[in-house]
Amino acid sequence: EQKLKPANSVVVRHILCEKHGKIIEAMGKLDKKELPFDKVAELYSEDKAKKGGSLGSMARGSMVGPFQDVAFALPPSTCNKPIYNKEPVKTKFGYHIIMVESRK
């Protein structure tokens, strides 16, 4: 497994759903590679993130704990071939699927 260099910020996208059932449905779409990550985000995500679930660049310390832990553990990937957490991350906002586009 590729060892990631330490990073201070990540460019991150996510899908956020309040209900566990809905996030599992969204993850199913990703697992089947039916749609790119940004399209699944547009269909399923319940937050106000810009188009395609993008949160832009997020510095270490600016995200809630469990979300940050996953974001910094993921290798960079693209919407068409996303690498994302296989178990939804639970935070006070709901359940998240996270992918990282770049690390600095």
Q: Are 99 and 83 in contact (CB under 8 A)?
A: yes
Q: Do residues 15 and 45 touch, judged by C-beta distance below 8 A? A: yes
Query: Under 8 Å CB-to-CB from 48, ≥6 apart: which residues?
Result: none
Q: Which residue has the tokens 């995200």?
A: 63
Q: Are strands 9-17 and 89-91 parallel, antiparallel or unpaired?
A: unpaired
pLDDT tens per residue across span 13-35: 999 999 999 999 999 999 999 99
Average pLDDT over residues 96-103: 98
Do the strands 9-17 and 94-103 form a parallel or antiparallel pair, or are they unpaired? antiparallel
Please check the confidence at residue 1 and state whether its pLDDT lies above 70. Answer: no
Residue 15 three-state SS: strand
55-72, pLDDT tens digit by residue?
A: 999 999 999 999 999 999
Q: Across the strands, what pairs with 15?
A: 97
Its pTM stands at: 0.93
Better pLDDT: 3 or 68: 68
